[in-house]
Amino acid sequence: MVHDHEHHHEINLDNAFKIGIALNIVFTIIEVVYGYLANSMALVADAGHNFSDVLALAFSWIGVILSQRKPTLRFTYGFRRSTILIALLNTVLLLVAIGFILWETIHRLGKPLEIKSQDVILVAAIGIVINGFTAWLFVKGKKNDLNIRSAFVHFVADALVSLGVVVAGVIIAFTGITWIDSVVSFIIIAVILYSTVHLLIDSVNLGLDAVPEHIDIEVVRKYLEALPEVSTIHDLHIWALSTTDAALTVHLNTCCETDNTFIYEVQKHLHNHFHIEHATIQIEQGDENCRNNCN
């Protein structure tokens, strides 16, 4: 099997996770407190949005830690698949948070409350800075890891959502139209719900051993069938070992003798071009259909 042992960026990423999680947990608490003190459900909803991404970030960090643990006699693939279970847990927690925020927002619709727009603007503006800084922490890592790229995109989106809360606060300050706060709250809830539903679908698919979204199994099939040594293939399976790693098994009918070098080159190509880390290839020799193609 081909494994990528280049982990030169792990120390930087480890610090990025710690800083990002700590900053956003503190800010989420501040947002909740000031959201209630300022009577702004938009701030509370934004806190829920930030908390959802803190969970995602924490789970990504757990995935990095678990991926470094060695397999055992019982868990022969290691513990990376637990990241899929964690992702499912994440969706359950997010749905509970969405239900709470939605209930509070609807409950306050009929109650004309004075919204402290200055507090809303100040706290949301701090959110733009914190989310922007957290996204910056993962700029380098996003090129090599889908989970890191997802974290980067989420915190950029968080900064934009915080910007929307600032705009709502400014509108309330100048017009006194307090229902703008509830509108922004509903918009944020919709954003969280959209992300959560997609996360739930992806998690269930991975749990059911579906082919990971970033891998086109037909392209992989065509590559294997196009190999000069191969006449036909069967029993091609691709599934996720975790939220970042994929595995493959396949039987190749060959028309001539092959050695370990052939298998290694195929595994190397699958790793480099399709990001399939674990490829198990079974060779079945004796097919005469393509003997002329063999060297």
Question: What is the fold, at CATH topology level, of the domain defined by 217-293?
Answer: Alpha-Beta Plaits (3.30.70)
Distance from chain centroid for Cα 59: 9
Give the whole-number percent of the chain exceeding pLDDT 70. 85
129, amino acid identity: V
- One DSSP character per residue, 78-94 reads -STTHHHHHHHHHHHHH
* Bridge partners, 246 (sequence order): 240
Q: To the nearest whole number, what is the mean pLDDT of the chain?
A: 80
Domain ranges of the chain: 10-207, 217-293
How far, CA to CA in Å, does 85 sit from each of 80, 81, 98, 167, 204? 10, 7, 20, 38, 9
DSSP SS3 for 295: coil
Residue with tokens 């693939």: 77
pTM for the model: 0.65
| Selection from 35, 16, 20, 14 nearest residue 158 by Cα | 20
Distance from C-alpha of 53 to C-alpha of 94, rounded to nearest angstrom: 10
179-207 vs 146-175: helix crossing angle, rounded to 10: 170
In tens, the pLDDT along 262-289 reads: 999 999 999 999 989 899 999 987 655 5
Contact present, 63 and 86 (Cβ < 8 Å)? yes
How confident is the model over 62-67, as a mean pLDDT? Answer: 74
47 vs 14: which has the higher pLDDT: 47
pLDDT at res. 3: 47
Rounded to a whole number, what is the distance in angstroms from the first to the last CA of the chain?
Answer: 24
Task: Write out pLDDT tens, residues 16-53.
Answer: 888 888 988 998 898 888 888 888 877 887 787 778 77
